[in-house]
Amino acid sequence: MYTAAVNEIEATLAALTLEEKISLLAGRDFWRTVSVPDKKIPSIKVSDGPSGARGDTFSGGQKAAFFPSGISMGATFNPDLAFEVGQHLAEEVKSKSASVLLAPTACCHRSPLGGRNFESYSEDPLLSGKMASGYIRGVQSRGVAATMKHFVANEQETQRLYVDEIIDETPLREIYLKPFEIAMREGRPWAVMTAYNSINGHHCDMHPFTLKQVLRGEWGYDGLVMSDWFGTSSTVESLLAGLDLEMPGPAKKRSAKNLLAKAEGDVEIQKAVHEAARRILTLIAKVGKWKDMTPEAPEVSREAPETAELIRRAGGEGVVLLKNDDQMLPLKPASLKKVAFIGPNAKATVAGGGGSAHLNPNYLTQPYDSFVTAVRELNSGIEVPYATGCILDRWVPVVDVEEGHCKITTPDSIPGLRLEWFRGYDATGPVVSSSIQKSGNLFLIDQRPPELSPSEKFSAKVSGRISVSADGKYNISLSTITAAKLFFDGALLIDNWDFNRRGDLMMNVGSEEVVKTVELTANKWYDVSIVNASLWPKESPRDPPMEDIAALGIRFGVAPVTNNAALIAEAAAVAKGCDAVVVVVGLTNEWESESYDRTDTRLPNDQDDLIAAIAAINDNVVVINQSGSAVDMPWSANPKVKSIVQAWYGGQEAGHVLADVLLGKQNPSGKLPMTFPVKLADNPTHGLFPGKDLKSEYKEGLMVGYRYYDTANVKPQFPFGYGLSYSTFTLGKPGLSASELGEGRSFTVAVDVTNTGAVAGAEVVQLYVQRKTATSTVEKRPVKELKGFKKVHLQPGETKAAEVVVGDKELGVWSAKDGRWVVETGEYEVLVGTSSVKEELKVAGTITVKSAWSWVY
């Protein structure tokens, strides 16, 4: 359709008035572009995000398939699998009547504290770029646009709208732009999203270097560039830099009033408007919507068995086995009578991180139930006792129809809470709109009824009843974006009408959580009502985007008061006498999320104490960690902790994946896509991240992740590229296809990989290059860098040759002096192995470059 529409696009452009073209350059609403019906230009719909297509409702909404997080996919070291995931995601996008997926997230990990690390692939730009490329090609093979984001250097969430990142050109090129460059060359995304942050004094949405010179100029990108939501910082400058689409709509910076007045009589601005409009029309054609004025179909849930199978397989392939003393795993049901499951995540549905990557999943699975079901299917008779061990919640858990510590109904006994909208601040008078909400987590940025204008006074009221199952003390909590009050059994319990501090809740725009403790009686119903007004508290820190759209938001929680010390003692008693103990710990979408960063790499809420207590009374401990980034593991050397599994966030099949791995149905083949340091202070960004005074200085330069640990000889807890298997593999002698490299040529490393174990498995051959005598335009470079990898799946006893091809540009470094990439003369040692540990790498040979060559793109 796109090819056939090319001439029609030009004819349509010629028929559009300047004002009509301008109207296309900003969204119609939160998720859609503007249509021009008279010219048969339809609106197209976009959807978050990298782990699944959520649709047009930020919280709640239609159910969707929940895929493993980006970091879990990065751990697979398998771009072909990313392609397959992309294909299925495209079908999910179509089920939500959308045409554009706001993913993948291609940024590198600068610090293990990055709140959004879980969403992207790796600390290494090559791995990130290759995985993003596979994902993009998969999505777009089904006629859906992928949106590569966030361009560029969005490595922190702290003050993300305002932080200025000070980055020298060489690390900017080699680390932070590189994954985008690789994905641009190999994936050709139809859309790109700019980042919120500034780089060296310029906002990314109008950056003269990254957006205009590099993306549009050197890379020749002619696809659509959109802003992140509320991330358009100017009217004209962003347009001239190559930003086509302001999101969301309706237009703020690019209203007809603002832009038309500036464009009339200015040829340069008119030309930029024309080019941006062309790129928007081209995207409409590429996604198969050219002149398709069919009304948007309702969103539907798509629960496909083949998608569930893929999610389970992909999740298992990303699991990293970090330790397995005495071959503790997989568990042998025939020799086990009692296996305890302990930990805050043992019965939790930990599927992904927080923020725009979150969605309403088709279903969720958790480790305990999945394991119990699996052992019953084996007729093993294993007893599986359980203990929480400690509470991991960062905030009081929200009330929810499907799970939680209390039942909720509307005032008229319908499961859920009633949400009503009113004119005026006091939630009285005629009801404008009403709905039933299943949860107390109501981020209402996209649910305001169209009858209510952002400029008028309005309010929302949540009302219902709660009932708990046991007598005792309970915490009741409230956080809101704007002024609110919570009434409990008719009395004012929480007054949040004029708060003056903001916390991390609701994408960092909610107030700090206010908690009150009350005594509740089991099975008694208590009335609750919350009034939330579109009134911005006078003393509250401002948030222009949220104020501009008059966003409301309510987070209402109820949970019993608990004591971790008592829970740890209870868990130790449960673990005593068991044949093995599986301790499931980690983080959740409350600890890792868009809009804020972590402050420490230690496991929160006494989880280390829990593991120590279990290991003190049981000799066979398996620790499963669910997190989207590195955490400290001070218990990793404890001989009683026999096995450690890094499980990441596995999506809707997370529980089944862990049961599969524990019982050997799935042989873990993941490799760490990031370095796990012993402690936070060992990381090269310690003291630099997230910066201060709205500046973040990238003084570590090229020394990111394993590049730093290798060069500085700092021993990590677990190195980049590391991961064990239930099988064993041997590498033969690697062969190097050439001894010299010249412009336009490549070299290949071939190595035989043999599965010497008793079960099928997969190994990742990793190729690193170490500079021996090469000259350098940079004073200090990493001792070695990943230049290729290949995943090989093998049956027991099987041998396959793994070939890794390195092109003529892969050895290039950026010469800031010349403003070009250059392969410098000298000798390069080629190393092959199954992790980044130098002592375990085999020398394939030496490549000599006798004459340098250079290029721009």
Answer yes or no: are the C-beta atoms of 666 and 660 closer than 8 Å. yes
The sign of the dihedral angle between the CA atoms of 229, 261, 453, 546 is positive
What is the number of alpha carbons within 13 Å of residue 10 lying toward its C-beta?
Answer: 4
Q: What pLDDT score does 1 carry?
A: 60
Regions of the chain short of the pLDDT cut 50? none
β-pair partners for 192: 148, 225
β-pair partners for 202: 199
Q: Which residues contact 44 (CB under 8 A, 6 or more apart)?
A: 32, 33, 98, 99, 100, 283, 284, 287, 289
Q: What pLDDT score does 356 carry?
A: 92
Q: What pLDDT score does 383 carry?
A: 97
What is the number of alpha carbons within 13 Å of residue 657 lying toward its C-beta?
Answer: 35
**758: number of Cβ within 10 Å:** 11
Question: And the tokens for 820?
Answer: 């070009």
Question: And the tokens for 309?
Answer: 């199978």
What three-state secondary structure class fits 139? helix
Q: Phi and psi of 512, rounded to 5°?
A: -60, 150
Q: Is 8 exposed, middle or buried (0-12, 13-18, 19+ CB in 10 A)?
A: middle
Answer yes or no: are the C-beta atoms of 696 and 114 closer than 8 Å. no
**Which residue, among 130, 126, 59, 141, has the nearest Cα to 93 in the 3D structure?**
141
User: CA-CA distance, 48 to 354, in Å (whole number)?
Assistant: 12
User: CA-CA distance, 281 to 223, in Å (whole number)?
Assistant: 11
What is the number of alpha carbons within 13 Å of residue 717 lying toward its C-beta?
Answer: 24
Is domain 729-855 classified as CATH 2.60.40.10? Answer: yes
User: CA-CA distance, 680 to 632, in Å (whole number)?
Assistant: 8
Answer yes or no: are the C-beta atoms of 9 and 281 closer than 8 Å. yes
- Which stretches does DSSP call E strand in 756-794? 761-771, 784-794
Q: What pLDDT score does 546 carry?
A: 85
Q: Phi and psi of 42, rounded to 5°?
A: -80, 165
Question: And the tokens for 838?
Answer: 């130098």
The CATH-assigned architecture of domain 406-560 is Sandwich (2.60)
Answer yes or no: are the C-beta atoms of 108 and 120 closer than 8 Å. yes
Domain residue ranges in the chain: 305-394+564-712, 406-560, 729-855
User: CA-CA distance, 586 to 624, in Å (whole number)?
Assistant: 8
**Which residue, among 580, 649, 585, 650, has the nearest Cα to 615 in the 3D structure?**
580
Q: What pLDDT score does 661 carry?
A: 98
User: CA-CA distance, 169 to 821, in Å (whole number)?
Assistant: 12
User: CA-CA distance, 487 to 187, in Å (whole number)?
Assistant: 53
What is the number of alpha carbons within 13 Å of residue 401 lying toward its C-beta?
Answer: 14
User: CA-CA distance, 847 to 646, in Å (whole number)?
Assistant: 36
State the pTM of this model: 0.96
Distance of CA 42 to the CA centre of its chain: 30
User: CA-CA distance, 515 to 494, in Å (whole number)?
Assistant: 8
User: CA-CA distance, 65 to 118, in Å (whole number)?
Assistant: 18
Q: What pLDDT score does 5 carry?
A: 81
Q: Which residues contact 581 (CB under 8 A, 6 or more apart)?
A: 339, 340, 342, 575, 614, 618, 620, 621, 622
Question: And the tokens for 233?
Answer: 């910082």
Q: How far is the CA of 715 from the CAs of 313, 687, 834, in angstroms?
A: 32, 19, 18
The fourth-level CATH superfamily of domain 305-394+564-712 is Glycoside hydrolase family 3 C-terminal domain (3.40.50.1700)
What is the number of alpha carbons within 13 Å of residue 215 lying toward its C-beta?
Answer: 32
Answer yes or no: are the C-beta atoms of 86 and 141 closer than 8 Å. yes
Greatest C-alpha distance within the chain: 84
Q: How far is the CA of 406 from the CAs of 440, 520, 522, 594, in angstroms?
A: 12, 11, 10, 28
User: CA-CA distance, 154 to 194, in Å (whole number)?
Assistant: 9
Tokens 């991991």: give the residue: 392
Distance of CA 777 to the CA centre of its chain: 35
**Which residue, among 657, 506, 603, has the nearest Cα to 68 in the 3D structure?**
657
**Which residue, among 475, 464, 471, 473, has the nearest Cα to 442 in the 3D structure?**
464
**Which residue, among 742, 741, 812, 806, has the nearest Cα to 778 in the 3D structure?**
812
**Which residue, among 74, 51, 105, 128, has the nearest Cα to 670 in the 3D structure?**
74
Q: Which residues contact 447 (CB under 8 A, 6 or more apart)?
A: 57, 58, 419, 435
User: CA-CA distance, 633 to 679, in Å (whole number)?
Assistant: 9
Q: In the sheet that 820-823 helps form, which strands lie side by side, from edge to edge?
A: 813-815, 820-823, 853-855
Q: What b/e string do you get for 331-345 counting C-beta neighbours within 10 Å, with b at 16 or more?
A: bebeebeebbbbbbb
pLDDT, tens digit, for every residue of 335-370?
999 999 999 999 999 999 999 999 999 999 999 999
Q: Which residues contact 78 (CB under 8 A, 6 or more apart)?
A: 134, 317, 791
CA dihedral 308, 313, 318, 324 (to 10 degrees): 130
- DSSP letter for each residue of 455-488: TS-EEEEEEEEEEESS-EEEEEEEEESS-EEEEE
User: CA-CA distance, 488 to 518, in Å (whole number)?
Assistant: 10
The sign of the dihedral angle between the CA atoms of 646, 651, 655, 659 is negative
**855: number of Cβ within 10 Å:** 13
**Which residue, among 595, 482, 693, 479, has the nearest Cα to 229 in the 3D structure?**
595
**Which residue, among 697, 718, 709, has the nearest Cα to 631 in the 3D structure?**
718
Q: Which residues contact 803 (CB under 8 A, 6 or more apart)?
A: 748, 749, 750, 790
CA dihedral 377, 383, 387, 388 (to 10 degrees): -10
Q: Which residues contact 226 (CB under 8 A, 6 or more apart)?
A: 147, 191, 192, 193, 194, 243, 244, 245, 246, 247
pLDDT, tens digit, for every residue of 515-537?
999 999 999 999 999 999 999 99
Active site residue 228: yes
3-state secondary structure 529-552: EEEEECCCCCCCCCCHHHHHCCCC
For residue 210, give the amino acid letter: T
The one catalytic residue among 124, 205, 228, 369: 228
